[in-house]
């Protein structure tokens, strides 16, 4: 019996190695490769999308913009050229979801502060009250790093159009009033081609972890 095992010892080792390789190969084939969708307006909840773009199924990108940040600097799409960024909509006097969203943005800022590829962009939905000095005070109180995170204000119509026609991230009351947009908790992940690659609940810690993982995925994918 001992001679039998000695004779087939080499065969058993080789067979075991080959079996392990085959099992790994099958697992790799069955496990789907991670992908991130390129979101189009027709893929998003219609409540968050302006009716003029709801039909669009391809080629959607963030429109060009010209807004002013907390330092009074003009911020355009050029600032985010060849960059990945996270965008959201807020206002400085919000006492409901905004404080939580801001805290989570600060956590993202801490993780990306030394990363030259990733930035943040927050749009006020109350541009009349959230002036440059107000945004500056808010930024200083919260610990915003100016080089990484722009808090922007500007023309109300432009901001609202960006929210509902570009970022697909806010609701409209439909009443045409002074403030006819309801901002949501959505964080929007935008890639280096100005395409939307993900939506995340800015009040949910687990969603923020998913966002960070997707940022890493985009960085690695877009370097290939």
Q: Show the domain range for 15.
A: 1-31
Burial class from Cβ neighbours inside 10 Å (0-12, 13-18, 19+) for residue 72 reads exposed
Burial 55-64 (b: 16+ CB within 10 A, else e): eeeeebebee
The reply to whether 80 falls in a domain is yes
The reply to whether 132 falls in a domain is yes
The reply to whether 36 falls in a domain is no
| pLDDT score of 102 | 98
Q: Within this chain, do residues 204 and 113 fall inside the same structural domain, yes or no?
A: yes
Q: Within this chain, do residues 95 and 15 fall inside the same structural domain, yes or no?
A: no
Contact 63, 48 (CB under 8 A): no
| pLDDT score of 224 | 46
| pLDDT score of 16 | 57
Residue whose C-alpha is closest to residue 101's, from 187, 159, 197: 187
Q: Count structural domains, the chain.
A: 2
Q: Within this chain, do residues 55 and 155 fall inside the same structural domain, yes or no?
A: yes
Handedness of CA 41, 43, 48, 52 (dihedral sign): positive
pLDDT along the chain (224 residues), means of 10: 51 54 50 83 94 95 98 97 97 95 98 97 96 98 98 95 95 63 92 97 98 96 58
- For 201: left if phi > 0, alpha if psi spans -120 to 50, otherwise beta; the answer is beta
Q: Within this chain, do residues 25 and 55 fall inside the same structural domain, yes or no?
A: no
The reply to whether 99 falls in a domain is yes
Residue whose C-alpha is closest to residue 69's, from 80, 59, 58, 55: 80
Q: Within this chain, do residues 77 and 8 fall inside the same structural domain, yes or no?
A: no
User: Angle at Cα 87 formed by Cα 85 and Cα 91, nearest 5°?
Assistant: 145
Residue whose C-alpha is closest to residue 148's, from 176, 167, 120, 117: 120
The CATH number of whichever domain residue 72 belongs to comes to 3.40.30.10
Q: Within this chain, do residues 64 and 132 fall inside the same structural domain, yes or no?
A: yes
Whole-prediction pTM: 0.83
Report which secondary-structure segment, H or E, holds 152. Answer: strand 149-152
| pLDDT score of 90 | 96
The reply to whether 160 falls in a domain is yes
Residue whose C-alpha is closest to residue 183's, from 160, 199, 200, 166: 160
Q: Within this chain, do residues 146 and 165 fall inside the same structural domain, yes or no?
A: yes
The reply to whether 79 falls in a domain is yes
Q: Within this chain, do residues 141 and 202 fall inside the same structural domain, yes or no?
A: yes
Contact 41, 55 (CB under 8 A): yes
Q: Within this chain, do residues 21 and 118 fall inside the same structural domain, yes or no?
A: no
The reply to whether 48 falls in a domain is yes
Q: Hunting for tokens 């807020």 — which residue is that?
A: 90
Q: Within this chain, do residues 46 and 1 fall inside the same structural domain, yes or no?
A: no
* DSSP H stretches of helix in 1-120: 2-7, 9-30, 98-112
Q: Within this chain, do residues 45 and 133 fall inside the same structural domain, yes or no?
A: yes
What does each C-alpha distance from 44 to 38, 158, 165, 172 come to in angstroms?
11, 21, 11, 15
Q: Within this chain, do residues 67 and 120 fall inside the same structural domain, yes or no?
A: yes
């Amino acid at each position: 019996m001992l001679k039998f095992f000695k004779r087939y010892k080499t065969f058993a080792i080789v067979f075991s190695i080959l079996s392990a390789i085959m099992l790994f190969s099958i697992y790799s084939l069955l496990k789907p490769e991670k992908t991130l969708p390129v979101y189009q307006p027709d893929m998003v909840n219609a409540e968050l999308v302006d009716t003029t773009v709801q039909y669009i199924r391809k080629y959607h990108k963030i429109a060009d913009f010209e807004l002013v940040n907390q330092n009074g600097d003009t911020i355009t799409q050029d600032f985010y050229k060849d960059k990945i960024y996270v965008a959201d909509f807020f206002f400085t006097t919000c006492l409901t979801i905004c404080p939580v969203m801001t805290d989570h943005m600060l956590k993202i800022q801490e993780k990306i502060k030394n990363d030259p590829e990733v930035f943040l962009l927050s749009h006020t939905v109350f541009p009349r009250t959230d002036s440059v000095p107000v945004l500056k005070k808010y930024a200083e109180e919260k610990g915003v790093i100016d080089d990484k995170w722009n808090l922007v204000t500007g023309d109300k119509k432009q901001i609202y159009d960006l929210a509902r026609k570009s970022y697909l991230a806010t609701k409209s009351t439909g009443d045409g009033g002074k403030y006819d947009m309801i901002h949501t908790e959505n964080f929007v992940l935008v890639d280096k081609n100005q395409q939307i690659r993900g939506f995340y609940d800015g009040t949910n810690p687990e969603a923020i972890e998913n966002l960070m993982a997707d940022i890493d995925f985009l960085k690695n994918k877009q370097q290939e």
